[in-house]
Structure 1
Amino acid sequence: MKKYYLGILIMSASTIQSQKFPDLRAPIAEKQEHIREIHGDKVNDPYYWMIDYFKKGKDSTKVVDYLKAENTYWEGMMKDTEPFRENLFQEMKARIKEKDESVPVFENGYYYYTRTEAGKQYFKYCRKKGSLTAPEEILLDIDKLAEGHAYYAASGFSISPDNTKLVYGVDDVSRRQYTLFLKDLNTGKTTDLGIKNTEGSAEWGNDNKTIFYTEKNPVTLLSEKIKRHTLGTDPAKDVTVYEEKDHSNYISVYKSKNHKFLLIYSGATTSSETRYLDADQPNGIFKVFQPRMKNVLYTITPLEDKFLIRTNKDALNFKIAETPLDKTGVENWKDFIPHRSDVLMQSVSAFKNYLVFSERQNGLTQLVIYDRKTGKKEALIFDEPAYTISPLENPEYNTDQFRFGYTSMITPVSQFEQDLKTGKRILLKQQEVLGGYAKDSYTTERLFATAKDGTKIPISIVYKKGFRKDGNSPLLLYAYGSYGSSMDAAFSSTRLSLLNRGFAFAIAHIRGGQEMGRQWYEDGKMMKKKNTFTDFIDAGEYLVKEKYTSPKHLYAQGGSAGGLLMGAVVNMNPNLWNGVISQVPFVDVVNTMLDESIPLTTNEYDEWGNPNNKEAYFYMKSYSPYENIEKKNYPNILVTTGLHDSQVQYFEPAKWVSKLRDMKTDKNVLLLKTDMDYGHGGASGRFDYLKDISLVYAFMFKLEGINK
């Protein structure tokens, strides 16, 4: 599918470079014939062999050698930016308060928090008993545990009901396959439980000796089983309490906020099912709350006298229903908060005396307080044009104190506590930007672009005052647009390095997310996926039309499914962008979705479709970036990936770059950077990721002729 920008500002892609790159020879990948034949369609995939490192095939070494050659190439092409990148790294790092502490959270008699130390990459997980003036107890020193590891992620900290034990997960490869550890908080002894390949967390039964965890398939990485482990026993004898047979579902286990129930959730994109068990009887049998129903999603919140159910049954934007504790079937569900066509019900936070609903209306998030005694509802009001507000961790049930977070493009992340009874609100903490930050020096706007079908696409934008809307200013446009994930307006201290050098930054809230309600998601998935791509292009064209920028100064960025977006838009409208940053991109849609051995593939059928279906196959093929590369000019492109990526395997971007090199007719820059030690999320340390941002910024700055 071709689509070209027709405005008067268009320029040839080969004439818009502002700063020269070295004349180095790019790696040329070998071609090997590999025929894919399905639905009467025969396609040669000459770079299919790059899957061999993942498949442990004969060309594994050749794959690694190619990725290393690409790394050598990008390093050479960006060699002159090394001092600038180091300056950017130090500049962004200097804004971060190195010695810091999270707001303590009270749960079951203890205040829990994390704190960081100057010069350290990780953190310490701590608690104090009963009072913030009590002695500190360091539960885990992640800085020490991470020593000697190129990558180290600890997660899922779970304290036993009697406060004496801690279970947590560790991934030191970056494949999101966690091993569980137990720490005795009385003796300080840590034990490897021998439980591997988990999601990284566990949930306690109320007996203080039973834990439940999610086990993954070692090949597909799908969460397949919920297992029960009794401390002190052989993990090989752990009992499977639930096994998911539908490979399109994710599963998890957690405890209700009132600690009365253990809950197993199984859900795909379009349907879900929940099981529940009395947490006082961890050896009991989980009961099905309501058997899964076609195209119906639901989650439950137990209260003292009933269950609340958030569901989209007969409610596109979701509603809240209620049902008795002993009658959980759908025939007993009654509306508690009815469906509203203009409001998306996102979640409910339960307290003894109040409920707090997280909702979304007109593209903005909001919190609504509900008094359980009187039924009175009150929304929290904020006056910025684009912002994000959401509940924070609120583990205590018997309290009237509610914590929430607030941020905007110009307001640093702020944590508030509101007394639900009196309405009194206090600021607990606001992200501190070292070196000084003047909010009044920046402007944020909320704009609306008109899509080709007449749909209004929201855009959140921020820039430093003095930014000129004359078509000559650089602008970075970001989006995601998949899985119903909303990319809301939020503050970033690293972004200041961009804004302070004359860039504007914008988020296009395109279809495929859920910013404008559930229909917004439905209109950007499956057989309507192309709306996601055309929305982004329309947003870019609008910003050019309104003279925020021009094609020679417009940049685009997206990662993972947002990387798919980048691949699609450079095929559909390559002349609209001067540079594109595609991070861990999902660009080989057809081949990946045809291979069920690739991690997480079957979970994705409800998002993209199953290409074994002829109609889905040809629709995917019509937009898949790898399939649609043509002999034409492309913009400057920077691509990043990780050798151990568990979400989007390294070979997708590698194949895409190889084919682009072979087909493109311009002399623009195409760079592939592979982190040989990391996966989908990049580096695990709290500063190392800044090096990746420095590279992205330096790439755009070089194209703009900015070198300091």
Structure 2
Amino acid sequence: MTGFRWPEGVQAPTVEKEPKEFIAHGDKRIDNYYWLNQRENEKVLNYLKAENTYLETLMSGTKELREKLFLEMKGRIKEKDESLPFKDNGYWYYVRYEEGKQYPVFCRKKESLEAAEEIMLDQNKMAEGFQYYSVGRRVVSDNNELLAFTVDSVGRRIYGLQFKNLVTGAIYPETIINVEGGNIAWAADNKTVFYVKKDLVTLLGFQIWRHELGTDPSKDVMVFEEKDNRFYIGVYRTKSKKYIGIYSHMNQVSTEYRLLEANNPTGDFKIFEPRKENFQYSLEHYQNKFFVLTDWNAPNYRLMETPEAKTGKENWKEVLPHRKDVYISDMVVFNDHLVLAETKDALNQLRVINFTNKKDYYISFPEAVYTSFPNINPDYNTNILRFSYTSMTTPASIYDFNMDTQQRELKKQTEVLGGFKQDEYTSERLWATVRDGVKVPISMVYKKGVKKDGSNPLLLYAYGSYGSSMSPSFNSNIISLLDRGFIYAIAHVRGGQELGRQWYDQGHMFNKKNTFYDFIDCGEFLVKEHYTTKEHLYANGGSAGGLLMGAIVNLRPDLWHGVIADVPFVDVITTMSDASIPLTTGEYKEWGNPAEKAEYEYMKSYSPYDNVEKKAYPNMLVTTGLHDSQVQYFEPAKWVAKLRELKTDKNLLLFKINMEAGHGGASGRFDYLKDKAWQYAFLLALEGKIN
């Protein structure tokens, strides 16, 4: 390897062993590093700081490269910019950024874009004095005078709910603590707000409360409590504004909605259709009926409708049938049109249906690999659909589309500065045949002129869990790798929903290993097709995708020259056995419940932490945040400690801990790029490309 030498003779941090025994179903596990879960323990904090010091020492030779990468990525961002305005209830709403500032300014204008600007919130001023600061949901009352908003100043996703008078500019004295950041609904009386309260142990939203503005939050009224801790809950206002809705949702398993007319905030919520196992639905109120998307006898979903006064399933009538090769993910209702977001062959489609003549068509797109989805469409009374479009070579674009004439107008495309020229890059879609004969799609982007002779470094990314599809989209940061000869690829492995519900079913619970095998086989396919070689193949995934990284380095450590595992979920058995840990109970249907012997044994057979062995591992960079609420910092910390103990190679094992942030990393738009620069520098240093 040329061009860069890693420092030699630097000692990695050592971690004390304190064996803890776990016994389940007659099986004994010893966890020598369980004690690292003591967040306030000085020894733990000192260990994490030592890991950061070790990282900085080992990567000291990349300091100039990191700064260069940071300035490159920052230089592609139009610092003074604003979002495309949208109109709702007489006001145009938009978000703008000021040059040199980290955070957004939330604004609006009355009736006309020529009107005077009203600043609702300036997050830059609000964030002064904080290491981390995030404004969550922002909702305006029906009379346009009041703003409810949430704030998290730690990064643990525990928000405070506050209120602002948009006429006087005054912030109301009451702050409601320990709430979900994304769930607020105003009633029609302009004084009542519904919100979700969090359990401070599990960090799950578990209750819906009603607050009257100007009153003591201790007098708030609980209107719903979710008794089944496998369900996530939320509250919202329907697009029609007529109803406040409460939903309970177990991912990919079960759904239940409750509705209350918004002009009767002290009334009782009524169940739309009771929950059942393996029965999901979502709804949209329209005039005197509801449209319902459901997987009832339809794994890829079908569209139903039901009278407003008769919401029970026995009254549902089919509008569009189920199709085996098309997955329906969303719907947008207008007065004269219905738009469905569908997925076929791992590509998004937008289907427009005319209510009057019943005719339908699909919006056409110019590229072979792309992503498209509905944007913000708050108005029923329009024939204009606003949708987003992007690809791995096309920056995020927003179009207004006339659903009658099928004419489209590009309203805004994210400007990419720094000399970016779209025609210098190309993307393609490949299909890798994996070990059980299934074809797995791979989306790929690289700079034109790249030769498929095996000499290219290639970064392969995947997620593969919860039915979340990784749609191919533009990422200006990746240009820093592409311009240095990298190919960037996304493996659409099973566990997502790119090829419909069956793609998810084949990648979770007792089929979870398909996710890992798919990724490995995609890597081998790319080597076989001469896009790269093992010596230049890199892997990346985060959170549940970090579990994927942990699994593939255990299964095929020889296939990768380097692996980046971001905030990785790696201690599957211990975490899923502890119902007090955030997310655990809500994910039994994703990973399994260790209380069940068969599920315990299957999870143990792949759990990255439990399967670390004495053998050679690839170069690795692991990241976490001390305040992570999704994957607790101690999971990657224990994993790194165990890897240090058992690995037999002399490859790098680096651990980067953000001591001021949580699962999503730094909150500022520029600070985030510094974290990304560390990762890219790690890859480029392994390639010997630090200039």
Over residues 386-408 of structure 1, what are the superposed CA-to-partner deviations in whole Å (9 max), with x where a residue is unaligned? 11000111112222221100000
Query: C-alpha distance in 2, partners of 1:560/1:600?
Result: 12
Q: Secondary structure at the match of 1:314?
A: coil
Summarize deviations over 1:255-276 as a string: whole Å, max 9, x none: 1101111111101020110001
How far does residue 193 in structure 1 lie from its aligned partner after superposition?
2.5
Deviates more, 1:231-240 or 1:628-637: 231-240
Unaligned runs of 5+ in 1: 1-14
Q: Deviations over 1:481-524 (max 9, x none)?
A: 00000001101111100000000000000000000101100110
**Partner Cα separation in structure 2 for residue 182 and residue 51 of structure 1:** 36
1:139 corresponds to: 120
Partner of 1:208 in structure 2? 190
| Residue of structure 2 in register with 1:49 after alignment | 35
- AA aligned opposite 2:680: Y
Aligned partner (choices 289, 299, 302) of residue 319 of structure 1:
302
Shift of 1:21: 3.8
What does 1:138-537 correspond to in 2, within 5 Å?
A: 138-200=119-181, 201-269=183-251, 270-537=253-520
Q: Read off the aligned partner of 2:480 and give its amino acid letter.
A: S
1:336-382 alpha-carbon deviations (Å, 9 max, x no partner): 11101110011101111111100001110000111111211111011
Check whether the contact 1:16–1:552 (CA below 8 A) recurs between aligned residues: no
Structure 1 residues 445-454 or 377-386, which shifts more? 377-386
Of 528, 533, 539, which aligns to 2:522? Answer: 539
Measure, in 2, the Cα distance between the counterparts of 1:17 and 1:43. 44
Task: Give, as a single letter, the amino acid of the residue that structure 1 aligns with 2:120.
Answer: L
CA distance in 1, matches of 2:19, 2:498: 43
CA distance in 2, matches of 1:153, 1:216: 17
User: Which residue number corresponds to residue 76 of structure 2?
Assistant: 95
8 Å Cα contact 2:332-2:340 kept in structure 1: yes
Show structure 1 runs of 4+ deviating over 6 A. Answer: 15-18
Deviation at 1:424, TM superposition (A): 2.0
C-alpha contact 1:643 1:650 (8 A) present in aligned 2: yes
1:691 is aligned to 674
Amino acid at match of 2:225: E
Sort the Cα spacing of 1:17 and 1:566 in 2 relative to 1 into closer, same or farther, 3 A.
Answer: farther
The SS at the match of 2:682 is helix
Letter paired with 2:51: E
Which of residues 15, 19, 25 is equivalent to 1:39?
25
Kept after mapping to 1: 8 A contact 2:6/2:58: no
Structure 2 CA distance for partners of 1:168 and 1:192, relative to 1, 3 Å: farther
Matched to 1:35, the amino acid is: E
Give the TM-score normalised by structure 1.
Answer: 0.96
Q: Decide whether the 8 Å contact of 1:19 with 1:704 is kept in 2.
A: no
Considering only aligned residues, what root-mean-square deviation do their CA atoms show, in Å? 1.1
Shift of 1:287: 0.3
The one of the two structures with greater contact order (alpha-carbon pairs below 8 A, sep at least 6) is: 1
What TM-score comes out, normalization by structure 2 length?
0.99
SS of residue in 2 equivalent to 1:677: coil
Q: What are structure 2's unaligned runs of at least 5 residues? A: none
State whether structure 2 residue 598 is matched by structure 1 residue 612. Answer: no
Q: Residue deviations 1:185-225, cap 9 Å, x none?
A: 11100124331111124110011010000111011001100
Preserved CA contact (<8 Å) 1:17 1:703: no
Deviations 1:94-126 (A, max 9, x none): 110000010001000000001101100001100
- Give the number of equivalent residue pairs: 689
Secondary structure, aligned partner of 1:327? coil
- Paired letter, 1:647: Q
Distance 1:592 1:154 in 2: 29
**CA drift at 1:23:** 2.5
After superposition, residues 616-655 of structure 1 pair within 5 angstroms as 616-655=599-638
Identity of aligned residues (%): 56
- Cα distance in structure 1, aligned partners of 2:136 and 2:17: 42
Deviation at 1:142, TM superposition (A): 0.7
Give 1:563's aligned residue: 546
The 8 Å contact of residues 386 and 408 in structure 1, kept in 2 or not, is answered as yes
Q: Secondary structure at the match of 1:193?
A: coil
Q: Which residue of 1 aligns with 2:59?
A: 78
1:132, 1:326 → 2: CA distance? 40
